[in-house]
Amino acid sequence: MSNYQNITLQTDQNTLILTINRPDKLNALNTQTLAEIKEAVYAAQSQKDVYGIIITGAGEKAFVAGADISEFKDFNIEEGKILAGSGHEIFNLIERSEKPIIAAVNGFALGGGCELAMACHLRVASENARFGQPEVNLGIIPGYGGTQRLIQLIGKTKALELLMTADMIKAPQALDLGLVNYVVPQEELIAKSQEISQKIYSKSPKAIAKIIKCVNAYFDGPTDGFEFEIEAFGSCCNTPDFIEGTSAFIEKRKADFDR
């Protein structure tokens, strides 16, 4: 494992807790931080003792308050495209992870921070969480998938409003809109995220991976999500997980899936 400068890693109950650790910068995403997140998430895919990931930010003020603007304020067109492309690659890696990834959002999740949270499979927010895409204030737009994932999660009408006004929303409104799954007190944030993770871990890991792929296929333009589901369903049959799951159901016992 690399020696990271801007993130910390801790494994607890088979969950890798990835903490973005730049509290003096409100955990803003610079190039180094994005590279470290990418490496850690990629490495976790092959770690047998890691069943899932929780991504959070250091401190109580911010999950990620945005990108590090000082890094790109003088960019030209090509440099901007390279930066956005790199962000898309990293956040796609998170979204397509076969292991569940939960964003534990503590405080501000703005710009790239909101985009990072949206790339995760589920989102748990603390009561002081704030979400927004304020890029238009800087004369730019979200570049890490925000214009696409925000629509997927809350619908076109409200997404357009938030993208064009740069308004921030509080955790209760984010819950009402479907942007987050739960809102909990700050001190319960990681515990609630772990509770969800452990429930997922009790299910078939192969089926969970297929669920993630099928749901993502719905938003993949060239892919027929229904046909993808048919193929995925068929591939589940006659696997050890399928045999164990169906046997446990018939025998009226709890399934014990191998990992």
> What pLDDT digit, counting tens, does each position of 115-166 carry?
999 999 999 999 999 999 999 999 999 999 999 999 999 999 999 999 999 9
pLDDT beyond 60 at 230: yes
Catalytic residue among 78, 135, 195, 231: 135
- Dihedral, 220, 173, 84, 38 alpha carbons, nearest 10: -80
Q: Are residues 184 and 216 in the same domain?
A: no
- What was the pLDDT predicted at 171? 98
Same domain, 239 and 186: no
45 lies in the same domain as 21: yes
User: Given 89, 115, 127, 161, which residue is catalytic?
Assistant: 115
The answer to whether residue 257 is domain-embedded is no
Number of domains in the chain: 2
Domain that residue 36 falls in: 7-201
- 227 labelled catalytic: no
251 catalytic per annotation: no
Does the model's pTM come out above 0.85? yes
Are 195 and 217 within one domain? Answer: no
Q: Is the dihedral of CA 147, 212, 87, 59 positive or negative?
A: positive
Q: Are residues 162 and 130 in the same domain?
A: yes
DSSP 183: E
Kindly write down the DSSP assignment for every residue of 169-210, as one continuous string. Answer: EEHHHHHHHTS-SEEE-GGGHHHHHHHHHHHHHTS-HHHHHH
Say whether 129 sits in a helix, a strand or coil. coil
> Mind listing the pLDDT tens digit for each residue in 84-107?
999 999 999 999 999 999 999 999
